[in-house]
Structure 1
Amino acid sequence: MTRLTHVLSRPARRPGLTYREVGATRTPEALPAGYHHLRHSTVVGHGRDAFQAAGAAVTTWRMHRASGARVRADAERAWPGAHLEVSLGAGPLRLGVPCAVIWTAYETERIGFAYGTLTGHPECGEESFVVELEPDCAVRFTITAFSRPATWYTRLAGPLVPRLQHAFARHLGRTLARLVRT
């Protein structure tokens, strides 16, 4: 298997990142303590073509945009150091959250990236979006995240925030499966 994984150089010194455990989503079995952990995995297709389509949709922000999120990014594709703002909602209720891509994987059987929270994000942590081609040719999409509140309103929302994050992860999985089918 060919491995081509890129990690932001000296990520802990990256200005604006709001957490210390930069890159921890690369090893989902060892997520840092003191955070809410999220892991959602679903099969979104089958075969190499579905894998390529899913990987492209994830790394070009198409999955996020098709889910109803607005994405403004300084790069067309995920690459370490790229900045983006993902926003949900409408009008004055639209909330934009700034992130930076921490690591990417463009491999033979694994494609994806992780972004970390920047100053101004209501949460503190990291989230990865990875597509893998399994030995039986199933295409599996996995979201792994660790986060904790960074603002008064996310602290006030308490257990509602992790529930919303999990619901959005399931929504992204359904969105990606739909994109792969079309």
Structure 2
Amino acid sequence: MAELTYSEVGASAHEPLPAGYHHVRASRRLGVVDLDAAAEALMTWQLQERSGVRRVSGPPRATLGADVTFRFLGQKVPCRVVDVVDEPDRRGFAYGTLPGHPETGEERFVVERDPATGEVTVTVTAFSNHALWRTRLAGPLGRLLQRTMTQRYLKAL
């Protein structure tokens, strides 16, 4: 089994995010919607699929320890689910990068219901660095792509 390409496993769940990485944290309010339906879409890779990221291998649902490979813009994107959140008002997962991923780091996707208002919010949190020569060469364009994908993920739910 391949090793993760970074050492701060699970750090996307904590503040502050690890130093030495590019950080992303973005949220979108979904309103008063069915948390179970939003969580099901999240846990079955729908944010990725609806954002143009195709799952090419791995289980149909995010489960702890599962390896999943996506394809985006012709690039293989291998990841491992390193955390699963399954609480009454909060659901989601985090995956970390495996060898061959264009970045090194972790990305977390969580849907959360405010018990007082019933409003559901989706949040994407990530820390990453360029891992491949072509992503390093792309420099700021890679960060622009990451911000764009984060917005696409948020809009996909």
Same fold (TM over 0.5): yes
**Greater helix fraction, Structure 1 or Structure 2:** 1
* 8 Å CA contact 2:70, 2:78 repeated in 1: yes
Q: 1:55 is matched with which residue?
A: 39
Matches within 5 A, 1:5-154: 15-27=2-14, 29-47=15-33, 49=34, 51-89=35-73, 94-134=74-114, 135-154=116-135
- Aligned-residue offset at 1:52: 1.2
Q: 1:8 is matched with which residue?
A: none
Deviations 1:105-128 (A, max 9, x none): 111000000000001111000000
Q: Percent identity?
A: 47
Q: 2:142 is matched with which residue?
A: 161
* 8 Å CA contact 2:8, 2:18 repeated in 1: yes
The amino acid of 1:57's aligned partner reads: A
The amino acid of 1:19's aligned partner reads: Y
The amino acid of 1:82's aligned partner reads: A
CA distance in 2, matches of 1:107, 1:72: 29
CA distance in 1, matches of 2:120, 2:57: 26
Deviations 1:94-113 (A, max 9, x none): 11110000000111000000
- Aligned-residue offset at 1:76: 2.1
- Aligned-residue offset at 1:36: 0.1
Q: Secondary structure at the match of 2:135?
A: helix
* 8 Å CA contact 1:44, 1:173 repeated in 2: no
The amino acid of 1:23's aligned partner reads: G
* 8 Å CA contact 1:40, 1:166 repeated in 2: no
- Aligned-residue offset at 1:15: 3.7
CA distance in 2, matches of 1:74, 1:145: 21
RMSD of aligned alpha carbons: 1.3
CA distance in 2, matches of 1:153, 1:159: 12
The amino acid of 1:16's aligned partner reads: E
Output the TM-score relative to the length of structure 1: 0.81
Output the TM-score relative to the length of structure 2: 0.94
Q: Secondary structure at the match of 1:31?
A: coil
- Structure 1 runs (4+) deviating above 4 angstroms are none
* 8 Å CA contact 2:58, 2:69 repeated in 1: no
Q: Secondary structure at the match of 2:40?
A: helix
